[in-house]
């Protein structure tokens, strides 16, 4: 992935958990960098999220600090004190306001972030040699099995702009805005208000369309930073030339990152795409798709490579959305197993069984009620998920 002018990355070892690898990431941003963000809607959000929601309103950023191994959530005033210490330490180093220093934490809930480790870790990061995207992506991970990053680009008039993103997340994934932390960096010149509008729009089509286990984290955060170093005519509204190209590139990048999280779902062996059509509205289709994606019975059937379409029927029916049993149709891998409320006559399970043996699974649900449609991505549920989470704090 290419470097983004105006972004300098560093990592350090703060030892928030018993890991012998970097667990603190510091991104220094050029003056005037625009920022936008989407955050978890959890009622038990961390201090980092609460502060970030307020900071993002002023639209500018000079730094990002990400701590891995400790989410600093459900830690009361001690958690907030740790965040305030970090922002003050970095702001003093850069000579900027604390509201331009963004902090994220991910890991175990309920343990205050140790202020001594935070102070030493930040101090080490501030003087560390610059690093690349892979090192930064690896340092923000927790149960992730690989470093996750993606890139894309867009032409804004005669100017090519680059977009790069890194993300972490493997479990506790059910975005309500996915423990998921994502960071997007671009050299495009774009005003904070438009960047926020486009990120919110992209989020609805990507991060809010994935689920691993149906659990929304206390720490979910996606931040986008635009340094303006590309020198394009600044984008300020949807009517500006190039805004549509940038919006498409941003959405594409977010989709790549979101799908990487699902592909690394804890214990996952299969990537599942669920397409719902014929719903009364797009919103209804989305809720039905999530009902299917979050069903343990559907997910374990896929893990067992069992074409049990009755479990999909169950998940559609429990979603609380309009559905008609006698109009419902279900397909696996493009092969219809049930049509208009009945098993397909002469249905041959062999090709469906062959599809389910693969790692890329497609489920289609046609409701026959309207024009609403939605796509959601998820993974299967295996014994591996239980093993990872049973031992998470040890």
**Band (142; pLDDT cuts 50, 70, 90):** confident
Is the pLDDT at 108 greater than 90? The verdict is: no
Among residues 25, 179, 186, 337, the one annotated as catalytic is: 179
Q: What is the pTM of this model?
A: 0.92
Mean pLDDT of all residues in 146-155: 96
Domains of the chain, residue spans: 7-263, 271-390
Using CA atoms, how far residue 348 sits from 3, 83, 273, 337, 354, in Å, is 52, 59, 22, 8, 11
**Neighbouring residues of 119: CB distance < 8 A, sequence distance ≥ 6:** 85, 89
Span 20-68, pLDDT tens digits: 899 999 999 999 999 999 998 888 889 999 999 999 999 999 999 999 9
- Reported as a single tens digit per residue, the pLDDT across 263-275 is 987 888 999 999 9
**CA 243, 246, 252, 257 torsion-angle sign:** negative
Q: Point out which residues pair with 227 in neighbouring strands.
A: none
pLDDT digit string (tens) for 227-248? 999 999 999 999 999 999 999 9
177-190 pLDDT, tens per residue?
Answer: 545 799 999 999 99
Task: Return the pLDDT at 172.
Answer: 53
Is 179 considered catalytic here? yes
Question: Domain 271-390 belongs to what topology?
Answer: Ubiquitin-like (UB roll) (3.10.20)
**What are 110-120's pLDDT values in tens digits?**
999 999 999 99
Report, as an integer, the average pLDDT of 61-82. Answer: 93
Domain 7-263 indexed as CATH 3.40.50.1100: no
pLDDT of residue 392: 56
Assess whether pLDDT exceeds 90 at residue 173.
Answer: no
Local confidence band at 107 (pLDDT 50, 70, 90 cut-offs): confident
Average pLDDT over residues 356-367: 97
Each residue of 205-229: b (16+ CB within 10 Å) or e? Answer: ebbbbbbbbbebbbbbbbbbbbbbb
What is the Cα 70 distance to its own chain's centre? 18
């Amino acid at each position: 992935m290419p470097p983004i002018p105006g972004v300098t990355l560093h990592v350090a070892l703060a030892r928030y958990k018993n890991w012998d690898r970097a667990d603190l990431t510091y991104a220094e941003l050029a003056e005037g960098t625009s920022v936008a963000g989407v955050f978890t809607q959890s009622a038990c959000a961390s201090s980092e999220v609460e502060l970030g929601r307020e900071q993002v309103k002023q639209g500018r950023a000079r730094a990002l600090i990400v701590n891995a191994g400790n989410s600093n959530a459900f830690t009361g005033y001690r958690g907030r004190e740790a965040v305030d210490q970090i922002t003050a330490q970095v702001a003093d180093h850069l000579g900027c306001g604390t509201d331009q220093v963004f902090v994220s934490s991910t890991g175990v809930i309920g343990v205050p972030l140790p202020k001594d480790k935070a102070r030493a870790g930040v101090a080490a990061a501030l003087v560390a040699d610059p690093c690349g995207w892979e090192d930064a992506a690896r340092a923000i991970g927790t149960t992730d099995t690989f470093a996750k990053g993606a890139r894309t680009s867009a032409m804004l008039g005669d100017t090519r702009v680059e977009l790069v993103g890194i993300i972490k997340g493997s479990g506790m994934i059910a975005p309500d805005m996915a423990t998921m932390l994502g960071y997007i960096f671009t050299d495009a010149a774009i005003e904070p208000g438009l960047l926020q509008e486009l990120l919110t729009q992209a989020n609805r089509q990507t991060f809010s369309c994935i689920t691993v286990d149906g659990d929304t984290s206390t720490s979910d955060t996606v931040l986008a930073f635009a340094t303006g170093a590309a020198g394009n005519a600044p984008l300020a509204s949807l009517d500006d030339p190039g805004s549509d190209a940038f919006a498409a590139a941003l959405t594409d990048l977010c989709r790549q990152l979101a799908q990487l999280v699902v592909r690394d779902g804890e214990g996952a062996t299969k990537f599942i795409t669920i397409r719902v059509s014929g719903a009364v509205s797009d919103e209804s289709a989305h809720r039905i798709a999530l009902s299917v994606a979050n069903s343990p019975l559907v997910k374990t059937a896929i893990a067992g490579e069992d074409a049990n379409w009755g479990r999909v029927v169950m998940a559609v029916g429990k979603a609380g959305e309009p559905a008609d049993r006698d109009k419902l149709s279900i397909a696996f891998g493009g092969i219809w197993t049930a049509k208009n409320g009945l098993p397909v006559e002469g249905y041959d399970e062999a090709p469906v069984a062959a599809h389910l043996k693969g790692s890329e699974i497609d489920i289609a649900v046609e409701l026959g009620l309207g024009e609403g449609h939605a796509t959601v991505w998820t993974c299967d549920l295996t014994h591996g998920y239980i093993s990872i989470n049973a031992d998470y704090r040890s």
